């Protein structure tokens, strides 16, 4: 293979890798920005679904502990 052909292929491969790296970096930064926006989003006082699940789980555990303390067999 002549030197010019190898040099052109190497340059093309290097450009392709640079384009892929730039695209991946842009996507990563966009994902990080999205996560930062989710964390910084102000709450309007309404509980999230996950928080409601946690709250109902805690209420159920509390009910069971009160039943144990009262001597009631579940």
Question: In the chain, how long is the greatest CA-to-CA distance?
Answer: 90
Q: What is the pLDDT of residues 58-72, one digit of tens each?
A: 888 888 888 888 887
Whether this model's pTM surpasses 0.95: no
Residue 47 has which token pair? Answer: 């509980």
67 CB contacts (<8 Å, ≥6 apart)?
74
C-alpha 64: how far from chain center: 34
The pLDDT tens digits of the residues spanning 11-69 come to 999 999 999 999 999 999 999 999 998 888 766 656 566 566 777 888 888 888 888 88
pLDDT single digits (tens) 4-13? 999 999 999 9
- Write down the H helix ranges in 1-74: 3-40, 49-70
């Amino acid at each position: 293979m002549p030197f010019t052909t190898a040099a052109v292929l190497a340059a093309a491969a290097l450009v392709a890798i640079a384009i892929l790296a730039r695209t991946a970096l842009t996507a990563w930064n966009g994902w990080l920005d999205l996560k930062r926006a989710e964390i910084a989003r102000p709450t309007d006082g309404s509980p999230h679904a996950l928080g409601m699940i946690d709250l109902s789980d805690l209420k159920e555990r509390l009910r069971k502990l009160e039943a144990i303390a009262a001597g009631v067999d579940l």
